[in-house]
Amino acid sequence: MNNDSTRQSVLFSDLGDKAVVAKFDQRHASSDGGAILLQACDRRVGLTAALIGGIEDRRQCGKIRHAIGDLLRQRLYAIACGYPDGNDASRLAADPIQKLLGGRDPVGDEDLASQPTLSRFENAVRRADLYRMGIALADAVIERHRRRLKRKVKRITIDLDPTDDPTHGAQQLTFFNGHYDSWCYLPVAGFLTFNEEPEQYLFAYVLRPGNITAAVGALGILSRLLPRLRAAFPRARLRVRLDGGYATPEIFAFLEREALEYVVAMAKNKVLKRRAARLMGSARRLSRESGQTAHLYGECRYAAGTWSSVGA
């Protein structure tokens, strides 16, 4: 911890009869003590252990210094503590709390893996490993809430949310996206909401190139998730919420075939703009009066000429 040590001190002169001085010159010190609680939560849920089980170790046994589990835990806990860049490993490898999170003695055991080792680990993970890890994440989330809620689940809402992740270099899979007007990735995140609870629980996160459409991969994510939800919560009604990027014939056909409740936004067109004109006029008037954004909701019957179903 030599690079992070400092002789700075702080004087608290008004706390009592005697001055209190705080110094930050402890040799083996860390600012990530709260991560111990994160580790306790992880052990209870079993998420990291499940993710490790999805990775096949293809390295030569005689050349292994850091186990797959150690590398995964080191990377995940570092990100959770606010160190997303792999280069941070150069100074965190000797951090006593980070070592403790990795199951090592904070002082006596050897340091954690270096940045080059972590980079090799991340690049060695294959598509099949990522698939198994994705299944493990979904299963861990579903099982946790099955135990928590038991038979009390009446509705489960599934949200798929694509979001731009701007890039600033020549990263793999980075492309220009005209909608977001930036070079980016376009990952999709999946969330579950139980009953009317406000919390959303991440069950999937898939990295995708920046130049694809929002709906790419959605059917695969839903196809893997629905049987698991139905097995764990056989009495629950399933609802899917999607934004306008998912309004494709394939998505609608799948939702109808699976007999799901669904709410899918629609991209604007001349018909919908005409149907919404009255509400938009009222919303603009309210916005001018309040100086803030106004929201009004209405409904109408609508169907494209080639569709067999009518939406509201």
In whole angstroms, what is the distance from residue 105 CA to residue 155 CA?
A: 46
Residue 15 carries which DSSP code? Answer: S
What per-residue confidence (pLDDT) applies to 309? 66
What per-residue confidence (pLDDT) applies to 1? 42
**Which two structure tokens, joined as six digits, stand for 272?**
């919908």
In whole angstroms, what is the distance from residue 160 CA to residue 244 CA?
A: 11
Please give the helix or strand (H or E) that residue 83 lies within, else none: none
What string of pLDDT tens digits covers the 312 residues of the chain? 445 544 555 555 555 667 776 666 666 667 777 888 888 888 888 899 999 999 999 888 888 888 999 999 999 999 988 988 888 888 888 888 888 888 888 788 888 989 999 999 988 999 999 999 999 999 999 999 999 998 899 999 999 999 999 998 888 889 999 988 999 999 999 999 999 999 999 999 999 999 999 899 999 999 999 999 999 999 999 999 999 899 898 999 999 999 999 999 887 888 888 988 999 999 999 999 999 999 888 888 877 777 666 565
Q: Which of 136, 115, 126, 135 is nearest to 57 (CA)?
A: 126
Instruction: Say if residue 89 is exposed, middle or buried (CB neighbours under 10 Å; 0-12, 13-18, 19+).
Output: buried
Q: DSSP per residue over 178-201, as a string?
A: TTTTEEEE--EEEEEEETT-S--E
Structural domains of the chain in order of their starting residue, each with its CATH number: 2-124 (no CATH), 153-266 (3.90.350.10), 268-312 (no CATH)
In whole angstroms, what is the distance from residue 267 CA to residue 280 CA?
A: 16
